[in-house]
Amino acid sequence: MKKSTKISLSEKEMPRQWYNIQADMPNKPLPPLNPVTRQPVGPEDLAAVFPMELIKQEVSTERYIDIPDEVLDLYKTYRPSPLFRAINLEKVLGTKSKIYYKYEGGNYSGSHKANTAIAQAYFNKKEGIKRITTETGAGQWGSAMSFACQHFGLELLVFMVRVSYDQKPGRKLLMNTYGAKVIPSPSNMTAAGRKILELDPESPGSLGIAISEAMEVAVQDPYTKYSLGSVLNHVILHQTIIGQEALLQMEKTGDYPDVVIGCFGGGSNFSGIAFPFLREKLLNGKDIRLLTVEPASCPKLTKGKFMYDFGDSAGMTPLLPMYTLGHNFIPAGIHAGGLRYHGAGVLVSQLLKDGFIEAKAKMQRECFEGGVLFAKTEGILPAPESNYAIAAALDEARKADLEGVSRTILFNLSGHGHMDISAYEKYFENNLPDHELTTAEVDEAISKITF
Ligand SMILES: *Cc1c(COP(=O)(O)O)cnc(C)c1O
């Protein structure tokens, strides 16, 4: 078989700026609200939780924001990341379409999360912060942040969703190796955690609960701040380095994608690859589809409701205008831990509502099937989360073949699955159940939203 084509960029060609979609959105996102006063929150309301530079980025409408040299230096240890044409996968499919993927698993954390972890640790350090608290689902975010904090001399406390803590001990040990302290959530360390444990001592936890715990600890100490690995505007901003590079790499191939695909947890890897292409659509009239894929067991984009809701289960965050299943929703324990979040980032939510992007939901077994085919043909074992993007790319190629056309498909391979090998074992043993949330269950989850 012919080798897959790798399209590299040199360090010199690496973009030096992040792209901020807020500059170009036709409808600007609605403001976050204070849950008590129902007034828009100002920067000062967020200052107990985030450093000022990140708050500025959160609300900025500047189109481009410079990447600081200290952040670029670490980026350069693994960026620009490679873009591949999946020739071997195309052959096995017998498709007329071209399939490209941007690989974000080739760094210390094994996922795209390093792109924002490095930036967030840097901006906290610069403002004199000593300790960071955060949550992690599958553990990719926690490991990304652990090394970033170690590098910049910050302590890190990670609340890890209980079900992942039990499923993925390797991720916990990786975080420990980088110097972080890891606690299963819900825990007895916080009021938010104790409240959940009182109701259900066996609670599998959720990202919403872990976020409440991490925020509760952060607001108690002026030298501790909280850090989030997805959802927020500044996180998505940092991830646009992916799409900025991909645009340059696609240019080198002479092809232009008809569709750009990413899996969806809170929106950061999808937005990271898609927003620079969306800019080309909005400003230069490029004809392109942007498609994101979520699990059928956690379908906030396809079955959730666009409304104001909390980002965490205890209601510590501002109210955010987003597609949500309700902040108390506890998703089924599927193996794509990074996709088990009840809400969607504000920017993606507004763009989906306005019809600039598309979303669909898929079941986990079909996604693992796609991931195994990808591993066999391209040689990279994908993260369970990334399997959703792969499965959707396969759908697009098959659809094009049925229509008798050739399309160019680009997807984000958000991470590798080396630490998730036990999920693959379950798949091979036929022990990975499909789970789809019904409309009635969604209605029930949403009816429980109170604030
Ligand atoms: C965290 C994670 C995701 C999901 O989060 P997004 O913010 O939606 O990107 C997807 N893939 C991998 C590998 C992850 O670690």
- Residue 242's pLDDT is 98
Examine residue 129 and state whether it is found in any structural domain, yes or no. yes
Residue 335 has pLDDT above 80, yes or no: no
Q: Are residues 147 and 277 in the same domain?
A: no
Burial of 241 by CB count in 10 Å (0-12 exposed, 13-18 middle, 19+ buried)? Answer: buried
Q: Which of these three, 167, 194, 228, is where a domain ends?
A: 228
Alpha helix (H) residue ranges in 316-431: 346-353, 364-378, 386-403, 421-428
Q: Kindly state the average pLDDT of the residues 355-380.
A: 98
Residue in 407, 411, 416 with CA at minimum distance from that of residue 390 = 411
Could you give phi then psi for residue 67, rounded to 5 degrees? -85, 120
The amino acid occupying position 303 is K
Residue in 265, 328, 273 with CA at minimum distance from that of residue 299 = 265
Task: Note the pLDDT tens digit of each residue in 184-213.
Answer: 999 999 999 999 999 999 999 988 999 999
The owner of tokens 């020739």 is 87
395 and 411 in contact (C-beta within 8 Å)? no
Examine residue 22 and state whether it is found in any structural domain, yes or no. no
Residue 374 domain boundaries: 71-110+239-447
Q: Which of these three, 201, 228, 255, is where a domain ends?
A: 228
Q: Are residues 83 and 203 in the same domain?
A: no
Q: Kindly state the average pLDDT of the residues 418-435.
A: 93
Q: Are residues 260 and 375 in the same domain?
A: yes
Examine residue 8 and state whether it is found in any structural domain, yes or no. no
Classified as helix, coil or strand, 260 is strand
Q: How far is CA 16 from CA 52, 72, 284, 364, 395, in A?
A: 21, 8, 21, 37, 34
Rounded distance between C-alpha atoms, residue 339 and residue 386, angstroms? 10
Q: What CATH number is associated with residue 182?
A: 3.40.50.1100
Residue 170 has pLDDT above 90, yes or no: yes
Residues near 39 by Cβ (< 8 Å), separated by ≥ 6? Answer: 33
Rounded distance between C-alpha atoms, residue 388 and residue 371, angstroms? 8
Examine residue 86 and state whether it is found in any structural domain, yes or no. yes
Q: State which ligand 1 atom lies nearest to the alpha carbon of 111.
A: 13
- Residue 1's pLDDT is 44
Mean pLDDT rounded to a whole number for the chain: 95
146 and 118 in contact (C-beta within 8 Å)? no
Number of C-beta neighbours around residue 256 at 10 A: 15
Task: Note the pLDDT tens digit of each residue in 130-163.
Answer: 999 999 988 999 999 999 999 999 999 999 999 8
- Residue 445's pLDDT is 86
pLDDT band, residue 336 (cuts 50/70/90): confident
Q: Are residues 201 and 289 in the same domain?
A: no
Examine residue 97 and state whether it is found in any structural domain, yes or no. yes
Q: Are residues 130 and 102 in the same domain?
A: no
Token representation of residue 20:
């901020």
DSSP state string for 209-234: HHHHHHHHHHTT-TTEEEE-SSSSHH
Could you give phi then psi for residue 182, rounded to 5 degrees? -120, 130
Task: Note the pLDDT tens digit of each residue in 51-88.
Answer: 999 999 999 999 999 999 999 999 999 999 999 999 99
Examine residue 11 and state whether it is found in any structural domain, yes or no. no
Q: Are residues 275 and 220 in the same domain?
A: no
| C-alpha 382 – ligand 1 centre gap (Å) | 12
Q: Are residues 216 and 155 in the same domain?
A: yes
The amino acid occupying position 383 is A
Per the structure, how many domains does the chain have?
2
> In 165-258, which ranges are E strands?
181-185, 224-227
Rounded distance between C-alpha atoms, residue 271 and residue 323, angstroms? 15
| C-alpha 72 – ligand 1 centre gap (Å) | 22
| C-alpha 229 – ligand 1 centre gap (Å) | 9
Q: Are residues 290 and 419 in the same domain?
A: yes
Residue in 31, 48, 50, 49 with CA at minimum distance from that of residue 40 = 31
Q: State which ligand 1 atom lies nearest to the alpha carbon of 267.
A: 8
| C-alpha 384 – ligand 1 centre gap (Å) | 10
- Residue 333's pLDDT is 67
- Residue 337's pLDDT is 73
Shortest-distance Cα residue to atom 8 of ligand 1: 265
Q: Are residues 98 and 126 in the same domain?
A: no
Q: Are residues 280 and 421 in the same domain?
A: yes
Residue 2 has pLDDT above 80, yes or no: no
Q: Are residues 318 and 420 in the same domain?
A: yes
Task: Note the pLDDT tens digit of each residue in 376-422.
Answer: 999 999 999 999 999 999 999 999 999 999 999 999 999 999 999 99
| C-alpha 419 – ligand 1 centre gap (Å) | 14
Q: Kindly state the average pLDDT of the residues 275-299.
A: 97
| C-alpha 161 – ligand 1 centre gap (Å) | 15
Q: Is the peptide bond before 299 cis (omega within 30 degrees of 0)?
A: no
Q: Is the peptide bond before 186 cis (omega within 30 degrees of 0)?
A: yes
Residue 323 has pLDDT above 80, yes or no: yes
Examine residue 40 and state whether it is found in any structural domain, yes or no. no
- Residue 314's pLDDT is 87
Q: State which ligand 1 atom lies nearest to the alpha carbon of 140.
A: 15
Q: State which ligand 1 atom lies nearest to the alpha carbon of 144.
A: 15
18 and 64 in contact (C-beta within 8 Å)? yes
Q: Kindly state the average pLDDT of the residues 5-32.
A: 96
Q: Are residues 297 and 387 in the same domain?
A: yes
- Residue 4's pLDDT is 53
Residues with CB under 6 A from ligand 1: 111, 113, 140-141, 230, 263-270, 338-339, 383, 385-386, 414-415
Q: Which of these three, 186, 201, 228, is where a domain ends?
A: 228
Q: Kindly state the average pLDDT of the residues 229-240.
A: 97
Examine residue 29 and state whether it is found in any structural domain, yes or no. no
Residue 255 has pLDDT above 50, yes or no: yes
